[in-house]
Amino acid sequence: MTGPRRNGGEATPWWFTLIIVLAILPMFVSLAVAGRSPRGSELYFLSWLFPVYSLLSGFCAWMCYTDRRALAWILVCLMILSDLGMYALL
């Protein structure tokens, strides 16, 4: 699966897509936590918000790799840092 091509440029490479997918995978842990936490708690809210953030950040990093590689890498680093933060929270 390659990313979008703009102005005849190159597509997002497969290895970067793989890095994004690996950075997104920990969101499934937060969904399991959301099922166990009581409704109305902060942990419940963050556990449902985290997958949305992960998916949107991964999609934005995948889309912007062709034009703004530095921004794509920053988004991936932020996703990894937020994964670590969620593990610390859980």
pLDDT tens sequence across 27-53: 887 777 777 778 888 877 888 888 899
- Widest pairwise Cα distance in the chain: 50
Task: Give the per-residue pLDDT at 59.
Answer: 96
4 inside domain? no
pTM of the model: 0.79
Pairwise CA distance, residues 17 & 66, whole Å:
12
Task: Give the per-residue pLDDT at 31.
Answer: 77
CA–CA distances in Å: residue 40 to residues 2, 10, 54, 60, 67: 40, 46, 22, 30, 41
DSSP 45: H
Q: Which structural domain range is residue 42 located in? A: 14-89
- Number of domains present in the structure of the chain: 1
41 inside domain? yes
Task: Give the per-residue pLDDT at 9.
Answer: 63
Pairwise CA distance, residues 15 & 43, whole Å:
33
Task: Give the per-residue pLDDT at 50.
Answer: 87
Give me the residues of the chain with pLDDT under 70, please.
1-9
